[in-house]
């Protein structure tokens, strides 16, 4: 009986290991492809950075450099949201029909959407850090609990990426890309945005991990739901 159980266990490992390695190889290839395309089209990323800088500078002029903490917090997340939408809007729209067919033959839909989410998460984290530095330079830095603030920031960027990648995939299969992404994106991302603003507001005044833990758990749950829906729904979009 023990020998039979070990044999079954080894068979499961033998069948599971090649699939895992194949997925890792496909993810690595897709991530390298995304970075190469981003490097070739530097103007797109530069436009997003310029948009972020312009919005912060406009806020600096509008408030004359003096802003209270609540306004700082809300404005920070709103500008990050619009910058994230501009950055991820091209995630699927830039893919041509021929390239889409090539991906359809070469990789699985789950691997493809997860590669998009991972790449755009890294992109948004870099954008968020840049936005925080620009905010600090122009509008000051009221944050007291830096560590918890950045945990919330990273969790928020993962959530933004997972939700907006799915919305971008849906919009890319329609013919009204930009309008559809805006219409679908805001209702889906609004609950996450409200939680992020509330947790960020707590870190600004100084807090403990136990105080912000419920908000962080809610953020992670919303992100997990978005990633799960992406993996469940994207194969149907993929076949269209």
pTM (predicted TM-score): 0.83
- Confirm whether 9 is domain-assigned: no
Contact between 19 and 25 under an 8 Å Cβ cutoff? The reply is no
122, pLDDT greater than 80: yes
Instruction: Supply the pLDDT for residue 125.
Output: 92
- Confirm whether 111 is domain-assigned: yes
> Which of 25-34, 89-98, 134-143: highest mean pLDDT?
134-143
Q: How far from the centroid of its chain's Cα atoms is residue 181's Cα? A: 15
- Confirm whether 20 is domain-assigned: no
Confidence of residue 95 (pLDDT cuts 50, 70, 90): low
Instruction: Give the lowest-confidence range in 15-19, 103-107, 196-200, 230-234.
Output: 15-19
Confidence of residue 13 (pLDDT cuts 50, 70, 90): very low
In the block, tokens 């609540």 appear at 70
- Confirm whether 68 is domain-assigned: yes
Instruction: Supply the pLDDT for residue 153.
Output: 92
Distance (Å, rounded) from C-alpha 193 to C-alpha 219? 9
- Confirm whether 23 is domain-assigned: no
Domain extent at residue 84: 42-238
Q: What is the mean pLDDT of residues 127-135?
A: 91
Structure tokens at 100: 């889409």
Instruction: Supply the pLDDT for residue 9.
Output: 40
Alpha helices (runs of H) in the chain, residue ranges in sequence order: 2-40, 42-63, 69-88, 90-93, 97-106, 109-139, 146-173, 177-204, 209-238
Instruction: Express each pLDDT in 76-92 by its tens digit.
Output: 999 999 888 888 877 66
Domain count, the chain: 1
- Confirm whether 89 is domain-assigned: yes
Distance (Å, rounded) from C-alpha 164 to C-alpha 37? 19
How many of the other CB atoms lie within 10 Å of CB of 77? 20
- Confirm whether 10 is domain-assigned: no
- Confirm whether 8 is domain-assigned: no
> Which of 8-17, 32-41, 149-158: highest mean pLDDT?
149-158
Contact between 212 and 164 under an 8 Å Cβ cutoff? The reply is no
Contact between 234 and 113 under an 8 Å Cβ cutoff? The reply is yes
Distance (Å, rounded) from C-alpha 221 to C-alpha 16? 27
Higher pLDDT, 179 or 58: 58
Distance (Å, rounded) from C-alpha 126 to C-alpha 112? 22
């Amino acid at each position: 009986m023990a020998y039979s159980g070990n044999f079954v266990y080894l068979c499961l490992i033998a069948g599971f290991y090649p699939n895992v390695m194949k997925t890792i190889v496909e993810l690595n290839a897709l991530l390298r492809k995304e970075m190469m395309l981003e490097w070739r089209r530097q103007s797109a990323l530069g436009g997003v950075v310029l948009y972020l800088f312009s919005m912060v500078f406009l806020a600096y002029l509008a408030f004359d450099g003096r802003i209270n903490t609540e306004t700082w917090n809300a404005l920070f997340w709103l500008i990050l949201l619009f910058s994230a939408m501009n950055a991820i809007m091209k995630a699927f729209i830039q893919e041509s029909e021929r390239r889409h067919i090539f991906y359809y033959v070469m990789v699985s839909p789950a691997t493809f959407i997860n590669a998009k989410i991972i790449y755009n998460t890294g992109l948004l984290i870099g954008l968020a850090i840049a936005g925080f530095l620009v905010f600090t330079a122009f509008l000051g830095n009221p944050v007291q609990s830096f560590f918890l603030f950045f945990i919330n920031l990273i969790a928020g960027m993962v959530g933004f990426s997972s939700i907006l990648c799915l919305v971008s995939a849906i919009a890319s299969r329609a013919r009204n890309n930009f309008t559809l992404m805006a219409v679908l994106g805001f209702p889906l991302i609004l609950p996450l945005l409200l939680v992020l603003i509330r947790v960020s507001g707590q870190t600004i005044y100084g807090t403990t991990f136990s105080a912000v833990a419920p908000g962080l758990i809610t953020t992670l749950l919303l992100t997990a739901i978005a990633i799960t829906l992406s993996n469940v729904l994207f194969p149907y979009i993929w076949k269209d």
